Amino acid sequence: MTENFLEEHQKVNPNATGKTIKGGYPDNGNGYYSRKLSYEHWFKFNLHQRAHLLALESIFNLCFEILLTGIFTPWAAFTIGCVIFVARIVTVIGYLKKPEFRAIGGIVVILSTMVLHGYAIYNVVQFF
């Protein structure tokens, strides 16, 4: 596999040059479970795994802030929550197409999360 790695990688990712991919490799250290996969299936499996982890990494904070925002401004919490939900789906789909495409939905997620932060802080200050 190491002898013809670039060839195998270029079959899955035709734009591959053999240089390090910006944004990290898709491997999450699950080689034990994917030993019998072809390189293409391993690559796709790891893209899906990373897309899943991208969605999970902020779910607790988002749920907590939506709860705080919903105390005094429920429609804002609902609207921002829906925007983040749709933007996360767009981020995952973009990441699965090509890792650089996650920025399409990622920018919307970041901006709407900042608005959610503002609403949550405003509601906490208003509460006290």
For the chain, 128 residues long, give each residue's pLDDT as a single digit of tens: 455 666 776 777 776 666 655 555 555 666 666 677 787 888 888 888 888 888 888 899 999 999 999 989 999 999 999 999 999 999 999 988 888 888 989 999 999 999 999 999 999 998 88
Global confidence as pTM: 0.73
Residue 93 to residue 118: CA distance in whole angstroms:
28
Helices marked H in the chain: 5-12, 39-56, 59-72, 74-97, 102-127
| Token pair recorded at residue 38 | 């072809």
Q: What angle do CA 47, 49, 54 make, to 5 degrees?
A: 90
CA distance 68 to 44: 37
